[in-house]
Structure 1
Amino acid sequence: MATRDAEGARKANVYSAEVSEVYDLVYKGRGKNYAHESAVVTELVRARRPGAASLLDVACGTGEHLRTFKLMFDEVEGVELSPTMRAAARGKVPGVAIHDGDIRRFDTGRTYDAVCSLFGTVGYMTNTAELEAAVGRMAAHLPTGGVLIVEPWYFPARFIDGHIAGDFVRGADRTVARVGRMARTTGSTVRQESHWSVADAAGVRHFDQVQIFTLFEPAEYTAAFRRAGCDVEYIDSGDIGDGRGLFVGVRH
């Protein structure tokens, strides 16, 4: 798989304060059910490790999944690269450790019965080496028998090149509109451009967002899990996110 400017892609994919401020409103407006997704993940974990008591949510965003995980596990923690996302998560789940960390190289200094990374965050990895680094870091935080659950981004066969998207959401004191387009640039690389308009008591403002993703094949995800010492299966289910399914691994 071709490589690209990894540092440039990393900077592009760190959520700005402007996006973080309206992130929850947009995705809740789109019908994203964080509580249900967390319950699905918990069920998958306990089916493989019945006594699971601790969970780490990697790239936890604003902490919406952690709100439910906190009710289902004795101990939960999160890892998040974006400072504004971390701040939002800490405000929602007081007392829960939200670590500053990059999915490819974080280290919390302990292990957990389960580790998860949802919402296709691994799609931000720029090549298979980075994908393997991310999966390896997550698996390194598991004991033998621990469970790793990763939601992939789109597979090449399922990606719609040139897809146009739009959202319009009204909150109690804010209205947000977002339009965007996703298109392949070279090989397996996808550039997503979005334009946001936000109206609230402070006025009307506009800003742009660019994200860079990689279309990994299912076999590349599977290989990353196996290299990290995990048996793995893919569950093709619409219960999570946009129906991209889940990779579920158990460390041996």
Structure 2
Amino acid sequence: MYENKSQAELYDRLYQDRKDYDAEAAEVTGFVRDRKKGASSLLDVACGTGIHLAAFAKRFDRVAGLDMSESMAAIASERLGGVPVHEGDMRAFDLGETFDAVVCMFSSIGYLRTVEDLESAVRAMTGHLVQDGVLAIEPWYFPDTFIPGYVSTHAFKQEGQGISRVSHSTREGTLTRMEIHYVVADSEEGITHRSEIDYLTLFSREEYVNAFHKAGLDVEYVETAGGRPGFFLGTRR
């Protein structure tokens, strides 16, 4: 999805203006410590450019990240200095260590295509939890909560540069097809445009719950404010 560092940096600037990463990390930290008192280590799977991970690093003694994108992992590594950021596929990874908490934020799990992929990812993440550790996954929307034809817009300006993003989402079977266009106006480079089409799977609540149970987790779903899709929270038995 983000083929080079410049595209990842565009993503970074845009979403830092749209999302309160620190508040979201604080919320998830609360979810984790409500279920495992004193949790002090955390792995962020699909950590992207590491903005959530940096916020978690303020709240946990030991953190690490994992991302499939080489360019995003490189930015995360630069942002976090000595924090380990690994390249890897969430469906099949083994870091050789365990954590009190494993998180997967920003609906990244939705980029998986099949129930088998979902179950493999949950199983791999669970394998990196200590006993009584907590897995927190922010899902994509569900088949009954997705809004066909949904339009999203965002624009902001910083010194010498303006960035806008528009998206249009439709449904194709169990997939969301999200067409996204970015326009960047730069004082030196002029105006550039890029677009992408993302597909995210509309897994059902039952499919998430079954994946957690198959991995040996007790699971609950909690709703969150602001139109976000909530969290599945699992505790390793």
For this structure pair, what is the TM-score category when the shorter chain's length is used for normalisation?
over 0.9
Deviations 1:51-96 (A, max 9, x none): 2111000000111111111111110000011111111111111000
TM-score (norm 1): 0.90
Match of 2:129, SS?
A: coil
Cα distance, 1:213 vs structure 2: 0.8
1:198 counterpart residue number: 184
Match of 1:158, SS?
A: coil
Matched to 1:91, the amino acid is E
Matched to 1:22, the amino acid is L
Match of 1:153, SS?
A: coil
2:230 counterpart residue number: 245
1:145 aligns with 2:132: yes
Give the alignment of 1:1-252 within 5 angstroms.
14-17=1-4, 18-30=6-18, 32-185=19-172, 187-200=173-186, 201-238=188-225, 242-252=227-237
Instruction: List runs of 5+ in structure 1 lacking aligned partners.
Output: 1-13
Match of 2:99, SS?
A: coil
Cα distance, 1:168 vs structure 2: 1.3
Cα distance, 1:108 vs structure 2: 1.0
Cα distance, 1:134 vs structure 2: 0.8
Greater percentage in strand: 2
Inter-partner Cα distance in structure 2 for 1:164 and 1:58: 28
Deviations 1:160-209 (A, max 9, x none): 11212222111233211122211112x21121111111122322211111
**Consecutive aligned runs of 4 or more in structure 1 exceeding 4 Å deviation:** none
- Farther-moved stretch of structure 1 (72-81 vs 174-183): 174-183
Higher relative contact order (CA 8 A, sep 6+): 1
Cα distance, 1:25 vs structure 2: 2.1
Aligned length in residues:
235
8 A Cα contact 1:111 1:143, kept in partner: yes
Inter-partner Cα distance in structure 1 for 2:141 and 2:160: 34
Instruction: List runs of 5+ in structure 2 lacking aligned partners.
Output: none
Inter-partner Cα distance in structure 2 for 1:34 and 1:57: 13
Matched to 1:235, the amino acid is V
Match of 2:182, SS?
A: strand
TM-score (norm 2): 0.95
Inter-partner Cα distance in structure 2 for 1:83 and 1:175: 26
Matched to 1:135, the amino acid is V
Inter-partner Cα distance in structure 1 for 2:35 and 2:62: 18
8 A Cα contact 1:179 1:195, kept in partner: yes
- Farther-moved stretch of structure 1 (159-168 vs 209-218): 159-168
8 A Cα contact 1:25 1:171, kept in partner: no
What's the C-alpha RMSD, in Å, of the aligned pairs?
A: 1.3
